[in-house]
A = this chain, B = another copy of it.
Amino acid sequence: MSGMSRRRITSKELAKLAGVSSATISRAFSPDSRIGSATRDRILAVAREHGYQPNAIARSLNNQRSRLVALVVNAIGNPCEAEEQQLLVHRLQARQLLPIILCCADHSDRLQLMRLASTYQVDHVVVFSDMVSMQDAVDIFHTTKPIIVSFEPLDNENVSSIRIDGAEAADEIIGKIVRDGKKRFAYLSGTNSSWIDKLRRKWFADALTKRGLAFEAQAFGDYSYDSGFKEAVLLLHRDKVDAIICGNDVMAIGARDAARRVLGKNTPDDIAIVGQDGIAMAAWDCNDLTTLSLDHVAFIDAVVELIERHDAEIEGPHSITLTCTARWGSTA
C-alpha cells in the first residue's frame, strides 16, 4: 500500500531492475542524450512502477547547479512585500526553480542566515529586503557567482539591480495636495534609514522644495500597521501636520485609522495621507488609498529577466529602471 514508507530507490538499484547500467538510467531522465527510445520507455516504465525519481541533491552536487533561489525579504506577513513575492515564486516555479525564503525581520543575525543559505549553493539570490546592505550580501554570496537583484545599486560584476523612479509621480501627488491647501508635511519612514527609504523620501522632498516647502517632521516606523498608527498619532498631535507621506501602504492605512479614530480627522479634507507600493489592498473599497504605485508585474518581469540573463551567462551586471505612477484614492 501507499501507506508504507519504503526507502527511496536509487539509480543503481533501478538499473539492476531494468537490466541496464546506472548511466543509462541517468540518460533516460536527461531529455537530449543518446539513448534508444525503446530503452528509455522501458526504464521510465520501471521507474514509475517503483516510484523512482532522480535525487536532486546528488544531481546538484555533480552539476554545480542546485536550481535553488534565495529570496531575502523583510517579512512574508506584510502584504506590501507579499504580493511581489507571490508573483516571483510563481515565475520561479514555472521554471522549475525552488525558492528558499530568508526572512530578515525575524532573524536576529541576518548575516548568519544568509551564510547558511549560501552553503546550499543557491543559483541566484534576490534581495528584496532593505535591512541588509548589498555589500554584505555580495561578501557572503560572491563565491557562488549568483545574480543579486535589488533596489540598491552596487558597482559589482555580480550585482544586477532594478532602479525605480518615482520623482514624477511624487511631484504629481504633492502638487495635488498643495493645491488642496495642505501646508505641513511629514514623512513616515519604514526603516531607520535604508537606501531605498532615503531615495523615496527624496522624491517627495524635491517636490516640496520646488514649491518652497519642506518636511516639517519625520518619524520612523517598521512598515507595520501598528507603527503607522502609533507614529501618526504623534505626528498629528505633537507636530500638527496636515499631510503624511508614508513609506508603504500598510503604514498609510494605520495612519489613516489613527487620524480618524484618535484625532477625529478625516481624509482628504482634514488631512492628506499617501501610501507607497500600490498593493491590491490599497485599492480595497475600505481603504481607497492614494499611493505612489509600482507595477508589480513589470517589477517581477524585470527580476525574472535579470535572472534569465544570468542563466544564459550573459556577462556583467545589468540594470533596469521602472517608473512609478500615482494611483488616486480618497485619502489625498
Q: Which of A51, A83, A119, A280 counts the most B-chain CB atoms under 10 A from its CB?
A: A119
Determine the chain B residues whose CB is within 8 A of the CB of A139 once the complex forms: 2
Find out whether the CB atom of B79 lies under 8 angstroms from the CB atom of A142: no
A327 on the interface (CB 8 Å rule)?
no
Are B8 and A144 in contact, with the CB atoms below 8 A? yes
Residue in B57, B61, B86 whose CB lies within 8 Å of A77: B86
Alpha-carbon distance between A54 and B280 when the two chains are bound, in angstroms: 42
In the complex, A265 Cα to B303 Cα: how many Å? 44
- Residue A53 interfacial (CB < 8 Å): yes
CB distance from A128 to the nearest CB of B (A): 12
Q: A60-B57, A61-B58, A101-B101 are in contact. Are A76 and B66 (CB under 8 A)?
A: no
Say whether A116 contacts B142, CB under 8 Å. Answer: no
Please name the residue on chain B nearest to A113 by beta carbon: B93
Q: Is the CB of B76 within 8 A of A76?
A: yes
A253 touches B286 (CB 8 A): yes
A57 lies within 8 A of B121 (CB): yes
Most buried by B among A6, A113, A285: A285
Q: Which residue on B lies nearest to A260, using beta carbons? A: B285
- Cβ of B138 and Cβ of A2 under 8 Å apart? yes
| 18 further A-B pairs in the complex, CB-CB below 8 A; given A53-B119, A253-B284, A257-B286 | A5-B157, A8-B121, A9-B143, A57-B66, A58-B61, A61-B61, A79-B79, A79-B82, A82-B82, A93-B102, A93-B103, A93-B113, A99-B101, A100-B100, A229-B285, A257-B284, A258-B285, A261-B285
Residues of A within 8 A of B (CB): 2-9, 51, 53-58, 60-61, 66, 68, 75-79, 82-83, 85-86, 89-90, 93-94, 96, 98-103, 106-107, 113, 115-121, 135, 138-139, 142-145, 155-158, 225, 229, 253-254, 256-258, 260-261, 280-281, 284-287
